[in-house]
Amino acid sequence: MGKATGFLEYERINPKKRPPEERIKDWNEIKLPQDPEIVKIQGARCMNCGIPFCQGGILLNGKVSGCPVHNLIPEWNELVYKGQWEEAYKRLIRNNPFPEFTSRVCPAPCEGACTEGYIMESVTINSIEYEIIEKAFKEGWVKSKKAKATGKNVAVVGSGPSGLSTAYYLNIVGHDVTVYERNDRAGGLLMYGIPNMKLEKRFVERRLELMKEAGIKFVFNTEVGKDISTQELVDNYDAVVLCAGATKARGLDVEGKYLKGVYYAVDFLKANTKSLLDSSLQDANYISAKDKNVIVIGGGDTGTDCVGTSIRHGCKSVNQLEILPEPPKKRIEKNNPWPEWPTKLKVDYGQEEAIYMYGKDPRNYLVSTKKIVGNELGELKEVHTVNVNWVLDASGRRMPKEVPGSEKIWEADLVLLAMGFLGPEDTIPDELKLERDARSNVKAEFELFETNVEKVFAAGDMRRGQSLVVWGLQEGKLAAREVDKYLMGKSVIK
């Protein structure tokens, strides 16, 4: 324990963000670094609990509690307090291959499970992690790694969080790793699913360069199952790990869903980032929200990203429609006790920016979309909605019930569907005849990751369904361990 009374003496100090009036003018990172002395004091707030729930990574009531990669949080908090930054970095990377990603985009279930959060403000775990890894890069402590070659070769399909994690761990134990990616850049959702202002792509590229230096090979613009058959990989490699994600977007089954101006959020965000990287948006190869009334259907991080991106385009207005009720402002202990993930209202960066621009939170709760209406040219012009209440049906399930007289028409020039994902695309599973679970994910038991096809493994969202980046990293690590065991009979990956 760095300072026995630190949690009593010091208050939580959140890292600052660039003000909305400044950041909406560019695509640069929102988060600002903290003064090292402030970080030191924040590290002193850690109680070094006898049972560190922060690093538990377990599911409680269907939601993760604590860190899925089991970060050694109390240890590096204490080391930061003592000024031993390099040792803190060494402890950090024991369990987390890419802290520069999680410290920027993870919702921090570790903080939700922090013991201090039961009676006071939790430790600023996420921002301390950010400061450790950025100092490590600045000081040159982050190096590429490669062990003595084993002579075994592995194909990894997909370069998102789970794919990169799988490749990283298989490489450091000496296997020859080739990553196949259908896009023109590696990173998966880290590159094209998360906007630049949340995760600047130079940080993704920084890590990718280290992985290439370590000997990992990347094959771009190659879609496995189309440009090259999956069976060809199975025939030519000692093992194949499928990390292609859960990229089948959830649609909206209403009249007008195919009108011009209705897009999936993932397509909107991907096209924007690609154009930004290719030409600073000068090539116009993206879906522009400029001067448009934007309706985002769906909440969550993706909905927030659509709001922030639309504002930077210069939209006329932006509203989010959410069928669920507004979360409480504070955790309700009776229904959501600590250390469960706290279900409470969060005002994220996109909402902050909308409030600055338009004077109100863009989110509208308990709203169901009835139909989308266009003009005679097939162009979007309106979204028709009705308010709902959630009631129990005869079987005891909660169902939305329409509120009579609550119909509303929203003027709309652009509708973005941010309603999550249904599971992996069918091409690869169908080709290999992989077994699927009830949610269409590739069936492979957690901690084993083996599919029903010899030497084919599956990890990440393709196996578990849409999830957090940090779960992708953990699944990639554990899948790499099982592949290593399969190839070598044992593994040093823990």
Tell me the pLDDT band of 146, cut-offs 50, 70 and 90.
confident
The encoded tokens of residue 196 equal 């630049």
| pTM of the shown model | 0.96
Among the listed residues 207, 192, 176, the one whose alpha carbon sits nearest the alpha carbon of residue 247: 192
pLDDT at position 309 is 98
**146 within some domain:** no
In this prediction, residue 71 has a pLDDT band, given cuts at 50, 70 and 90, of very high
Residues 101 and 243 in one domain: no
Residue 318 shares a structural domain with residue 226: no
**What are the residues whose beta carbons fall under 8 Å from the beta carbon of 484, sequence distance 6 or more?**
169, 170, 173, 175, 490, 491, 492, 493
- What is the per-residue DSSP string for 349-404? HHHHHHHHHHSS--EEESEEEEEEEE-TTSBEEEEEEEEEEEEE-TTS-EEEEE-T
Residues 269-303: tens digit of each pLDDT:
999 999 999 999 999 999 999 999 999 999 889 99
Q: What is the CATH number of the domain that holds 17?
A: 1.10.1060.10
> Nearest Cα to 447, choosing from 474, 468, 425?
474
Position 157 in a domain: yes
Q: Do 402 and 428 sit in the same domain of this protein?
A: no
- List Cβ neighbours of 254 (8 Å cut-off, separation of 6 or more): 369, 370, 371, 372
Q: Which amino acid is at 368?
A: S
Task: Return the pLDDT at 333.
Answer: 87
If you average pLDDT over residues 92-109, what whole number do you get? 97
Dump pLDDT digits (tens) for 373-418.
999 999 999 999 999 999 998 888 999 999 999 999 999 999 999 9
Query: Is residue 114 domain-shared with residue 66, that is, in the same domain?
Result: yes
Tell me the C-alpha distance between 430 and 379, whole Å. 36
Query: Average pLDDT for residues 76-88, to the nearest whole number?
Result: 97
The maximal CA–CA distance of the chain, rounded, in angstroms, is 71
**264 and 394 belong to one structural domain:** yes
Supply the DSSP symbol for 417: E
Does the structure show a pLDDT above 90 at 320?
yes
Residues 230 and 313 in one domain: no
Specify the number of domains making up the chain: 3
In sequence order, the 6+-apart residues with CB closer than 8 A to the CB of 83 are 40
Query: What stretch of H or E contains 473?
Result: helix 469-488
| Residue 427 confidence (pLDDT) | 97
Q: How far apart are CA 420 and CA 189, in angstroms?
A: 13
DSSP string across 190-253: HHHTS-TTTS-HHHHHHHHHHHHHTT-EEE-S--BTTTB-HHHHHHHSSEEEE-----EE----
pLDDT digits (tens, 9 = 90+) for 425-454: 999 999 999 999 999 999 999 999 999 999
157 in the same domain as 303: no
Judgement on whether residues 263 and 233 belong to the same structural domain of the protein: no
Domain boundary pick from 139, 161, 183? 139
Asked if the structure places residue 342 within a domain, the reply is: yes
Separation of alpha carbons 244 and 233, rounded Å: 14
Token look-up 């370590």 returns 214
Q: How much of the chain, in percent, has pLDDT values that exceed 90? A: 95
In this structure, the dihedral spanned by the alpha carbons of residues 142, 143, 147 and 151, taken in order and rounded to 10 degrees, is: 110
Q: In this structure, are residues 156 and 180 in contact, taking their beta carbons and an 8 Å threshold? A: yes
Q: What is the distance between the alpha carbons of residues 288 and 462, in angstroms, rounded to a whole number? A: 30
Instruction: Provide the residue range defining the domain that includes 426.
Output: 153-248+422-488
- The terminus-to-terminus CA distance of the chain in angstroms comes to 26
Q: Specify whether 211 is located in the same domain as 289.
A: no
Q: Do residues 123 and 19 both lie within one domain?
A: yes
Pair (297, 414) in one structural domain: yes
The mean per-residue pLDDT over the stretch 33-37 comes to: 95
Mean pLDDT rounded to a whole number for the chain: 96
Could you tell me the CATH number of the domain that includes residue 172?
Answer: 3.50.50.60
Long-range (24+ apart) CB contacts under 8 A made by 132-139 are 132/76, 132/80, 132/85, 132/88, 132/89, 132/92, 132/99, 133/89, 133/92, 133/99, 133/100, 133/103, 134/33, 134/100, 135/85, 135/89, 136/85, 136/86, 136/89, 136/92, 137/100, 137/206, 139/85, 139/86
Instruction: Kindly state whether residue 42 falls inside one of the protein's structural domains.
Output: yes
Q: Is residue 1 part of a domain?
A: no
Q: Which residues are bridge partners to 319 per DSSP? A: 295
Residue 456: enclosing H or E segment and its boundaries?
strand 456-458
Instruction: Categorize the per-residue pLDDT at 2 as very low, low, confident or very high, splitting at 50, 70 and 90.
Output: confident
Q: How crowded is residue 367: how many other Cβ atoms within 10 Å of its Cβ?
A: 23
Centre a 10 Å sphere on the Cβ of residue 454 and count the other Cβ atoms it contains: 9
Pair type for strands 380-392 and 398-402: antiparallel
Q: Do residues 14 and 34 both lie within one domain?
A: yes
Domain boundary among 375, 395, 419: 419
Question: Which residue is listed with tokens 């039961």?
Answer: 118
pLDDT at position 299, please? 86
Q: Assess whether pLDDT exceeds 90 at residue 305.
A: yes
**Domain end call among 139, 169, 193:** 139
SS3 51: coil
